[in-house]
Amino acid sequence: MAIASIKGFRDVLPAEAARRRAIVDAARGVLEAYGYGEVELPLLEKVELFSRSVGATSDIVEKEMYAFEDRDGATIALRPEGTASLVRAYLDAGLARAQPVARLWYGGPMFRRERPQKGRYRQFSQIGAEFLGREDAAADAETLCLVADICAAVGVRGMRIQVNSLGDAACRPAYREKLTAYGRSVDLLLCDDCRVRLERNPLRLLDCKNEGCRAAMEAAPLMIDHLCDGCRDHHAEVLSLVLSAGVLLEANPRMVRGLDYYCRTAFEITAEGQGAQDAIGGGGRYDGLVAALGGPDLPGIGFAFGVERMQLASGSEADADAVPLAMIAPIGDVAAPAALALARRLRQTGCRIDLESPRRRLKAQMKQADKVGARFVVILGDAELESGRATVRDLKAQKDHPSLFALDDEAESIIAALGCVE
């Protein structure tokens, strides 16, 4: 029996891979324009990194991590997200001292054992960026502009950025108490998950998708009405700066982020084409995270986009593969060495050249050339080997050019000769 892939893990075939590469390249261009440097992070980290940052009470750490014991007894996990790893790398490299204000980005696969559905996989790819060392509203505003510009460059349709403020250590504890008290007053109406959240992570009560919970939380107190002066001013300044840069935001006072370390600005990006999971990205400020991971008390703000969700949002039409400039058609084994050598030389110029099997009949080879859309077929049979000159059939003009080039001509001049044929 054939072996299938693991549930939630998928293969990306060439047309889709090209599309994903185009998305990452578009995002990379914008990130570079904003002065972000790329960091390549490991796929495995110590579990502790995520329990200390993402938080032991989050779904990601509690239920979704692929964690296991290594042969030496260390508990390690496939990374479920990138922010904690990036901050660890920033601290490991001594950047907190050498370059405390840093703009860094990363991309690549993340692993979460969630229930797979459209747009939700157990291995998925993210593009994430972190702006470390700045706590002022201008840093949040610049980050939100970056988010909007990445969406524009990738061609995301129907982008909406929702923002909220989650308060900080000065105002959130008192709000949390209020919210918990409210939650307890309606706890008979809440789902089982929310009853657990009520004691452990009450902010999550606000974004439960369950209809009963939504209705019960309708009159719940909201963080935005309980911000301290510092958080309120910060939030107002962020909104006004972003507006002045021409980026539209939507207030969503019920938006919370799943991760414990967020404070003040939090945002989520939604788009068309997603189905039930409409977030294509999210992020926010995490001023306590660097210290929680053993570094100095430095602030940070960042976000991550899901590449698969961006694919859905920017149209899933597969891009056509590059069309070959020419297909080389060797007739019989005698032509195989010359065909392979010629193909290799031409391919070194970077042009796509297809090479057919010397054991197929010319007719079958011509059919294949038509199928892949090759512009020329370079025929190498007995006569061509003897004269040292290939026959070139122009599939567009439907005619042969018997002596366009000699087999030992320079590759560049052969490519040029093909380019000039009309």
- Taken in order 245, 250, 251, 257, the sign of the CA dihedral is negative
Decide if residue 121 touches ligand AMP (CB under 6 A): yes
Decide if residue 324 touches ligand AMP (CB under 6 A): no
What number of residues does the chain have?
422
What's the order of all strands across the beta sheet hosting 353-355? Answer: 353-355, 326-330, 376-380, 391-394, 399-401
Token digits of residue 334? 């005698």
The helix/strand/coil state of 140 is: helix
Q: CB-wise, 124 or 405, nearer to ligand AMP?
A: 124
- Binding test (CB under 6 A) with ligand AMP, winner from 302, 306, 324, 330: 306
Q: List Cβ neighbours of 381 (8 Å cut-off, separation of 6 or more).
A: 331, 332, 335, 362, 391
CB of 205 to ligand AMP, least distance (A): 18
The stretch among 33-41, 134-142, 201-209, 304-312 that binds ligand AMP (CB under 6 A) is 304-312
Which residues share a beta bridge with 114? none
CB of 412 to ligand AMP, least distance (A): 44
Q: List Cβ neighbours of 73 (8 Å cut-off, separation of 6 or more).
A: none
Decide if residue 308 touches ligand AMP (CB under 6 A): yes
Q: Where are the beta strands (DSSP E) in 31-178?
A: 37-38, 44-46, 67-69, 75-78, 102-111, 123-132, 160-165
CB of 196 to ligand AMP, least distance (A): 19
The helix/strand/coil state of 26 is: helix
- Per-residue x/- marks for ligand AMP, 60-89, CB under 6 A? ---------------------x--------
Q: Which residue has the tokens 């961006």?
A: 310
Q: CB-wise, 268 or 354, nearer to ligand AMP?
A: 268
Q: Which residue has the tokens 């495995």?
A: 44
Q: CB-wise, 144 or 280, nearer to ligand AMP?
A: 280
Decide if residue 111 touches ligand AMP (CB under 6 A): no
Decide if residue 360 touches ligand AMP (CB under 6 A): no
User: Nearest 5°: phi and psi at 250?
Assistant: -120, 135
Binding to ligand AMP, residues 326-355 (CB under 6 A)? none
CB of 309 to ligand AMP, least distance (A): 4
| 104 neighbors 276 (Cβ within 8 angstroms) | no
Decide if residue 284 touches ligand AMP (CB under 6 A): no
The count of chain residues that interact with ligand AMP, using the rule CB under 6 A, is 17
The one-letter amino acid code at 312 reads L
The stretch among 13-21, 225-233, 274-282, 371-379 that binds ligand AMP (CB under 6 A) is 274-282
Decide if residue 16 touches ligand AMP (CB under 6 A): no
Looking at residue 242, the DSSP 8-state letter turns out to be H
CB of 83 to ligand AMP, least distance (A): 8
Site residues for ligand AMP per CB under 6 A: 81, 112, 114, 119-121, 124, 126, 258, 279-282, 304, 306, 308-309
